[in-house]
Amino acid sequence: MKNGKNAVCRSAEEFGSASGLPFSRDTAPLLESVAAGGIAAPSRIVYQPMEGCDGDPDGSPGELTVRRYSRFAAGGPGIVWFEAVAVMPEGRANPRQLSLTEKNIGRFSRLVGEIKETAVKSGNREPLVIMQATHSGRYSKPRGTPEPLAARRAPVLEAAGEPTVVTDEYLDRVGEALVASAALAERAGFDGVDVKSCHGYLLSDLLAARDRPGRYGGPFENRTRLLLDAVRGIRAVCSGRFAVASRLNVYDGREIPDGFGVGKDGEPDFDEPARLCSLLSGAGADIVNVTMGNPYFNPHVNRPFASGSYDPPEAPIDGVRRILGGAAEIKKAVPALKVVASGLSFLGAAAPGVAAAYIGAGAFDFAGFGREAIAYPDIARDIASGRGADPAKICLCCSKCTEIMRKPGGTPGCVVRDAGVYLPIYKKLCGKDGQK
């Protein structure tokens, strides 16, 4: 395969061998139940956090939010990794980002209950639901326009202007907010919390803050302090039946030369990420969800695409191989952690076979589906039934969901496979015919 652009048109088997990725016809490993901390996921299929920017102004789930999770639940994953939920109002990525508070906990609790009920009524095993707790840092837009709160100066990321660099005292408060949010999440019925440390948001930004003075900058132990303290704090206040996780960037990408996990040659250097994962495990974390890149700056690293806003400097399949390889490296370095791999959607109908081959070999524990989950929410059921992924339903990696997300007020979803709801939104906001 030259550039992988026709990947989604290939048959699963042909794709597996043409890509150089391992491939197994036997997808049974994806259906095994797995213990994570004090709880167990009924399968190894994870629906990744997929923000819809469609909450109510007070941060409660809105109509489209509830619809998304109902579709996910009916689709039968082992883990519904619930999208980014802001822990501080000024750290919201958009005015409709979800935010869990004492006031709206009832709305979240109802939604978690509905996810579990819908799954069971649809004939699936009850999934775990893990909430992603976030502070959007330099990508904060609580009122719809940028109000960046960075952990460090990073000129390469600051074309639009200088961010405010937050103080150590502010970061102390972020840590407290993460712990408080996890306690609320457990009360709301979530099975676990993810201390989000990826994609350039605040905790991810901090991991690369080598030039920052003070308690949270400079040496590795300072840059990782907030994440590790948050995990320890959550462990201290939440029960043993509550999973603690982190969605972690193990490589920011060569486009961010001073980024986390970036070696001198621009290639991944997993030394610090693996050390951090070992410390995370020691601090009481159960799961690491491995991801890479910055969706605002080098989205081809984060979500390898077939078409997008620019021509990526590499074949998308190379991006997929990098993410899956990164997950395998982390698992090898810290076997005690359960590891989720990201970036599978570009593999289309071949993704289950590729994930099964990695998982069958013990390379990582969970197969994460991001864009695929919104395009084809029934993919987990179709894998479980033995039918396999239907090539007519798979995500085309056309980037239209991301395009909607970048528009003010945009509520992303799949323009192609869920056209009844999202094509009109796409046409209105992006002014284009979504079929092209």
Residues that bind ligand FMN (CB under 6 A): 48-51, 83-84, 132, 198, 247, 291, 302-303, 342-346, 369-372, 401-402, 405, 412
Nearer CB in complex with ligand FMN: 178/212: 178
Q: Distances in Å between the alpha carbon of 426 and those of 56, 308, 311, 332, 431?
A: 20, 15, 21, 42, 7
Nearer CB in complex with ligand FMN: 217/290: 290
With CA atoms as reference, report the closest residue to 383 among 190, 169, 124.
124
CB of 86 to ligand FMN, least distance (A): 11
Which residue is closest to ligand FMN by CB?
A: 370
Nearer CB in complex with ligand FMN: 61/217: 61
Nearer CB in complex with ligand FMN: 188/292: 292
Nearer CB in complex with ligand FMN: 222/356: 356
With CA atoms as reference, report the closest residue to 181 among 242, 95, 267.
242
Give me the half-sphere count of Cα atoms (radius 13 Å) on the Cβ side of residue 306: 19
Contacts of residue 260, defined as CB under 8 A and 6 or more positions apart, other chains included, come to 204, 207, 208, 249, 250, 251, 252, 272, 273
Q: Taking a C-beta distance cutoff of 8 angstroms, is the pair 327, 316 a contact?
A: no
CB of 116 to ligand FMN, least distance (A): 20
The C-alpha atoms of residue 241 and residue 286 are separated, in whole angstroms, by: 11
CB of 219 to ligand FMN, least distance (A): 27
Q: What is the token pair recorded at 234?
A: 């959550």
Q: Distances in Å between the alpha carbon of 8 and those of 86, 261, 367?
A: 34, 30, 18
CB of 4 to ligand FMN, least distance (A): 13
Q: Taking a C-beta distance cutoff of 8 angstroms, is the pair 73, 127 a contact?
A: yes
Nearer CB in complex with ligand FMN: 226/324: 324
CB of 118 to ligand FMN, least distance (A): 20
- 39-41 and 45-47 beta bridge pairing: unpaired
CB of 376 to ligand FMN, least distance (A): 11
CB of 240 to ligand FMN, least distance (A): 25
CB of 181 to ligand FMN, least distance (A): 15
Contacts of residue 78, defined as CB under 8 A and 6 or more positions apart, other chains included, come to 33, 34, 41, 42, 43, 44, 45, 46, 125, 127, 128, 366, 380
Nearer CB in complex with ligand FMN: 343/353: 343
The C-alpha atoms of residue 214 and residue 223 are separated, in whole angstroms, by: 10
Nearer CB in complex with ligand FMN: 171/397: 397
CA end-to-end span of the chain, whole Å?
24
Nearer CB in complex with ligand FMN: 184/355: 355
Give me the half-sphere count of Cα atoms (radius 13 Å) on the Cβ side of residue 307: 9
Nearer CB in complex with ligand FMN: 77/217: 77
CB of 218 to ligand FMN, least distance (A): 27
CB of 133 to ligand FMN, least distance (A): 11
One-letter amino acid at 86 equals: A
32 Rama sector, left if φ>0, alpha if ψ -120 to 50, beta otherwise: beta
